[in-house]
Amino acid sequence: MNTSVTPSADTPSAKLAFQLYVAIGIAVYMLMMIAGAVFRGAQATWLPIPPNFVYEIMTLHGAGMVGVSGLAGAAVMWYFLRRYVKLSTGMFLTMLVLSLIGVVMILAAIGIGRFAGGWTFLYPLPAKSMGVWGPHAAGAFVGGLVFIGVGFLLFYLDCALALLRRYGSLAKALGLNQLFGSGPVDTSLPPTVVASTMVVIINILGILAGAVVLVMSLINIYVPGVVFDALLMKNLIFFFGHVFINATIYMAVIGVYEIVPRYTGRPWLISRPFLASWAAVTLIVMAVYPHHLLMDYVMPKWMMVMGQVLSYLSGIPVLLVTAYGALVNIHRSGLKWDLPLRLMIFSLFGWVAGVIPAIIDGMVRVNLVMHNTQWVPGHFHFYLLLGLVPMLLGTMLYVCTRSDWRETALDRASFWTYGVAGAVFCLVFLAAGWQGVPRRFAVHDAPWLGYAQVGTLAAALLLVAAVVLCVRLLARLPRVSLSA
C-alpha cells in the first residue's frame, strides 16, 4: 500500500462544493417530489391535466430523480472517500457544472419541446413521436443525458486514479488480495474504500455503455435512415440504467459505514464475508439487468436464466452484511437515538424491504403479468423513497450537526410522518399492481381511482414531512465540516 499519498485538503472551495451539492440536491428532490405528487393527482382525476402534459411530468420526474440521486450519492461518496485518498475538488465541481448544463437541456426538451418519452429514452421512441415532439426536443433530451454522463465519468475516473495511487490496483482497493489470501484480513482497509471501488468499477462500465447507446440514439434522431438493432439498444439502455440507479444507494450506504460507528463507539471492521459480499455484488449488479427483459422472447435463453437466478441472489450479499452489521454494531451500545441516526437505520429497512418485491417480479411467471403494472413503481419507490432518500438525509443532517443535534417534537413527527406516509404510498403501488393496474397510464379507469387517490393523499403527507426535514437540513448547512 502506498502510504505516502495524503488525503484531500479541507479547503474553503471543497466545503463550498459540498454545500452546493446539498443545496441543489434538496431543491431538485423537492421539485421532483412535487412532480410525482402531481402525476398521482392527475391519475386520481383530482387535477385536470391533459394526458400529454402528464407524460411530460412523468418524464421529468423519472429523469430528475435518477439524476439527483446520482449526484447526491456521489456527494456522500466524495465526502468520505476524500479522507483516505486525494480527490480533486475541481473535478467534483466539473461534474456538477456538466450536470446542470444537462439539466437545462432536459428541461428545455420537456418544457419547450414537449418531449415525453420517459427517462429510459427507449429506442426508437425518441425519433418516432407521432408528431408530439420534434427531433430537436429528442436531441436535447438525449444530449442532456450525454452531458450528465460525461460529468459522472470524469468524477469516477478521478476516484479511480486516486484509488490506484493509494492502493496500487482496484483489486487491492476492493480487498480481493485479502479475500483470496491465506493470512489474516487487514482491518485497516476502510469499508468506504471497498464500497467506493465497487461503484467506480460498475459505473465507469455502465456510463460507457450509456454513452454508446446515447450517441447511437442521436444518430438515429438526426439521420433516421441509420437504424440499429433494437434488441442491442435495449440491452445497452437497461445495462446503463440498472447499474446507474443501483449505484446510487451503494454510494449512499458509505454514510452508514462511517457514521453509525460514531454513535456506538465501535469500529465497523471489514472481514472476509464483507469483502466477499462486495466482490459478489460488483458482478451481480452488472449481470442481473436481463430481469428487465424477461418478456423479450428473442433474448438469448441463458441471459434470461441468468437474470432470474441473479435476481434471487442480488439482495443477499451487501444487504446481509450491511443490515446485519448495523444491527450488531448498535446492539447494547448505549447510543443516543436522534433524527440522523433514525433516518439511516430506517433506510436499511427501506432498502431490504424494497428488494423483496423486486425479487418477486424477477420470477418469470410473475413477471409475465406484473411487469407492466404498478407493482414495479411500488418496488423502486420502496427502494428509493424509503431506502435511498432517508439514507441521504440522515447522512447530510449528521455531517451538518455532528453530535450536537437537539431533537424536537417536530423532528419526531416529521420522521414518523415520512415513514408511515412513504410506506402507504409504496404499498398502494404494490396493491394496485397486484390487481393489474397498469403503470404509466395518464388516464385511469374508475376501478383504479381508489388506489391513485389514496396514493395522492399519502404523497401529500410525505411531501410535507420531506419539506420539514429539508428545511432543517438547509438551516444547518453553513455549519458543515469536511474534517473527520
Q: Is residue 3 part of a domain?
A: no
Q: What distance in Å separates the CA atoms of residue 456 and residue 461, rounded to the nearest whole number?
A: 9
Residue 113 main-chain phi, psi, to 5 deg: -85, -10
Q: Per the domain annotation, does 413 fall within a domain?
A: yes
**pLDDT at residue number 421:** 98
Phi, psi torsion values for 298, nearest 5 degrees: -85, -5
Vertex 478 angle, CA 153 and 469, to 5°:
80
Instruction: For residue 175, give Cα distances in angstroms to 179, 220, 276, 346, 458.
Output: 6, 43, 9, 29, 43
Beta-carbon contacts of 137 under 8 Å, excluding residues fewer than 6 positions away, are 109, 110, 112, 113, 114, 115
Which residue range(s) make up the domain with 173?
Answer: 12-479
pTM for this prediction? 0.95
| 6 in any annotated domain | no
> Could you tell me if 259 and 326 are in contact, meaning their C-beta atoms sit under 8 angstroms apart?
no
Distance CA 349, CA 319 (A): 10
CATH number, domain with residue 360:
1.20.210.10
For 438, the 3-state DSSP assignment is strand
- What count of other Cβ atoms lies within 10 Å of the Cβ of residue 447? 10
* Cis, peptide link before residue 340, omega less than 30° from 0: no
Helix/strand/coil for 373: strand
Number of domains observed in the structure of the chain: 1
Which residue has cell 441509420? 226
CA separation, residue 290 to residues 120, 241, 293, 311, 362 (Å): 15, 12, 5, 9, 9
Per the domain annotation, does 215 fall within a domain? yes
What 8-state DSSP symbol labels residue 292? G
Residue type, 367: N
- The answer to whether position 7 is within a domain reads no
C-alpha cell at 213: 447507446
Cα–Cα distance measured from residue 461 to residue 458, given in angstroms and rounded to the nearest whole number: 5
Residue type, 61: H
Amino acid at 430: L
Q: How far apart, in whole angstroms, are the C-alpha atoms of residue 350 and residue 363?
A: 21
Q: Which of 431, 471, 478, 476 is nearest to 455 (CA)?
A: 431
Q: What are the DSSP E strand ranges found in 66-168?
A: none
Residue 422 forms part of a structural domain: yes
DSSP H or E segment with residue 340: helix 339-361
Residue 401 lies in a domain: yes
pLDDT by 10-residue block (mean), the chain, 484 residues: 58 93 96 97 95 95 96 97 96 97 97 94 92 96 97 98 97 96 88 97 98 97 96 97 95 96 92 93 93 90 90 77 89 90 95 88 88 93 95 94 78 96 97 94 94 98 97 91 72
- Kindly state whether residue 2 falls inside one of the protein's structural domains: no
With CA atoms as reference, report the closest residue to 148 among 79, 58, 76, 240: 240
Could you give the CA distance from residue 148 to residue 134 in angstroms, rounded to a whole number? 22
Summary count for the chain: helices (H), strands (E): 18, 0
Residues 415/468, Cβ–Cβ less than 8 Å: no
Contacts of 186 (CB under 8 A, 6+ apart): 178
